[in-house]
Structure 1
């Protein structure tokens, strides 16, 4: 996946999967609060990921027309991520966890923008990219009011998956 992203955006390699793994340690369904030393290390890694991906997203977004919505959204996300990098956690362990989670959410949004700018199609059921050659199918959920409530693509293997939030 990352190779096609890099080619599409004309950029050096970005390890989105690795970034998402780091994010999952703080925000995933099985995330636990890390010990103080591990949390400090994880916060530093998140900051480094944000610092490395923001200029790449900005460069890719600036190639789009000035009135393009994905451009505007990506640039807003880049600005917000940079603002978060100018702050630090307040004193105390709970504040350090909250700050790390803010960075993780920001990095998750940046990863989403990176993939959107590259045209990566994500499965609506499992939130994983649909890679070339994988069986997939269109999905439209019609709302009771008549409009499409959710539209996108699913892996064929995910078509009968029940997703609970």
Structure 2
């Protein structure tokens, strides 16, 4: 994945925004299988592909959201909440699938929930004046 340097703007977000719509499609494939044309849970091979996509999306979006969060008032609840979300999402990148917690599919769903939260924060922070 090519590295791109975020250019901070007034809101703290990069000039070329991440493709949130594509990220949401990937999230929905795992968290809302009814939204996919097949309407079936993903097969094992697809879980691996979706996991790789989710990991890339989190790696792309987490720094953007963190940059925007650092523009919020120091000590504010909003700032700590967003930074906590970023920490949670990046922690998921360090984790490994575990049979106790649903194996590879469970791991992919946890990544999807973390990415979904990052997308929510990104949209909220990018709409701030």
Same-fold status (TM-score > 0.5): yes
TM-score, length of structure 1 as denominator length:
0.63
Displacement, 1:9? 4.1
Aligned to 1:117: 125
RMSD of aligned alpha carbons: 2.1
Could you say which structure has the higher strand fraction?
Answer: 1
Gaps of 5+ in 2: 1-8
Aligned to 1:25: 29
Larger RCO, structures 1/2 (Cα 8 Å, 6+ apart): 2
Are the equivalent residues in 2 in contact too, given 1:53–1:110 (CA < 8 A)? yes
Aligned residues: 114
Gaps of 5+ in 1: 1-5, 121-165
Structure 2: distance between partners of 1:7 and 1:33: 41
TM-score, length of structure 2 as denominator length:
0.79
**Rg (Cα) greater in structure:** 1
Could you say which structure has the higher helix fraction?
Answer: 2
